[in-house]
Chains A and B, each alone.
Chain A
């Protein structure tokens, strides 16, 4: 029987790692994800987890150890956040380029300066081009589930790419919620053992990994990463189906809430989606035709799902906790790319909010709806709107 336990998001991630049975975990503790390696080292020390727990002196080494372990042919896990993820940056490309299915949990946190330990997505969004698959969890249950899903997708022979699962700093990492822990046997059935066919260590069959790629080969090598990411679209959907059959919980590339007759759809990722659903309920009572949508998978970008979503609405408002300086929100830019060649498309507006742990309140969301309504009525509005910004101190 699945067990229900009340736990923090970090613990949920550690439990997911335990259930997935990685052979190697390498990690350097960083706020707010410190508890993930702490909990895993407890599991290992108590003999509940048969993994090599490698203590390292930095995140650069943590991910490097993971690359080594994965290249040797075992299931590998790590966790980090913010500056830690940034320190891993160069190795993230290597992990993807070498097609190593490492899974990483990330307590989404802001980047310096100024130093800030609270939640936004700037850390993972900044790594969107590294070739890692990216999932975003709405709650602690999703953090656990998506890590299991990430392993299954990453290790699929059509994919073979590393995957990261983001869950919002403190909002999820440190908040206790009831989480259903699936049975080990069912997880074993779902994931199976990782049997590497391309990258492993065998003295009887020497291979070279991470070799120099001359101009004659580099482009093709990078193309295979692109191709693998394209394959991931299909594989992720298959894995979502299988996950539902095994565990009863349903995931979507983009999950929709009351969107069918909506004139304004608010699209977001992560924990903010929970707030949006409540807000939509409130506005529906007031008779405003509004819906919400949550992007669970950001890389590969759900292009087809965005197109389908866009067909349902007149205004697509994108609420994001990140900023790409000089253009606006990253999700907004990607959404625009998905819709650029569509004949009929909604007005797409970008709302930057909640940076560095700033609360996103119903008042803020009212402002989003007000701006969206204005756009709907043909008034000219900004494409990039900073919501909850204290203009008086600027």
Chain B
């Protein structure tokens, strides 16, 4: 999986944010929203089939999170830390290269 482009940010904020609870849980450092992983409540997850993919970027364009990145060859990469399992990508994919499968944790 390709690395999140926010990796450095996440690490920096994670460090500062976890050091001390502030009064009123105020967040003093910008960018902290990326620290909170929002993939935890997913029920279905997108399963990607590279063979069917035509690299049209529709999934990438429509993902509301956005939890899809493109790798060097412009294939979609799913970031399951933030994918909420809405299934929009699967719905938009013209070649049915994405299938939503039930996820067990």
Contacts and interface: CB of A to CB of B under 8 A. Distances in A.
B5 interface: no
Given A208-B27, A209-B26, A221 B36 contact: no
Contact of B24 (A160, A206, A220): A160
Interface string A355-372: 000000000000000000
A104 interface: no
Interface residues of A, number: 22
Contacts of B30: 206
Interface string A215-227: 0010011011000
Interface in A203-241: 205-209, 211-214, 217, 220-221, 223-224, 228
Interface in B21-78: 21-28, 30, 32, 36
Given A206-B30, A207-B28, A99 B23 contact: yes
Nearest to A218: B25
Contacts, number: 45
Nearest to A98: B24
A97 interface: yes
B20 to A, nearest CB: 10
Interface in A331-387: none
A221 B21 contact: yes
B26 A207 contact: yes
B24 A209 contact: yes
Nearest to A222: B25
Contacts of B22: 198
A100 interface: yes
B16 to A, nearest CB: 13
Contacts of B28: 205, 207
A199 interface: yes
Interface string A74-106: 000000000000000000000001111000000
Contacts of A97: 24-25
A98 B27 CA distance: 11
Contacts of B24: 97-100, 160, 198-199, 209
B48 to A, nearest CB: 27
Given A206-B30, A208-B32, A214-B36, A160 B23 contact: yes
Contacts of A211: 25-27, 32
Interface string A147-172: 00000000000001000000000000
Nearest to A95: B24
A217 B14 CA distance: 12
Given A207-B28, A209-B27, 6 more contacts: A98-B25, A198-B26, A199-B26, A213-B25, A221-B21, A224-B25
8 closest residue pairs by CB, A with B: A99-B24, A208-B27, A221-B25, A98-B24, A99-B23, A220-B21, A198-B23, A207-B28
13 contacts: A97-B24, A99-B23, A160-B23, A198-B22, A208-B26, A208-B27, A209-B26, A209-B27, A211-B25, A212-B36, A214-B36, A224-B23, A228-B23
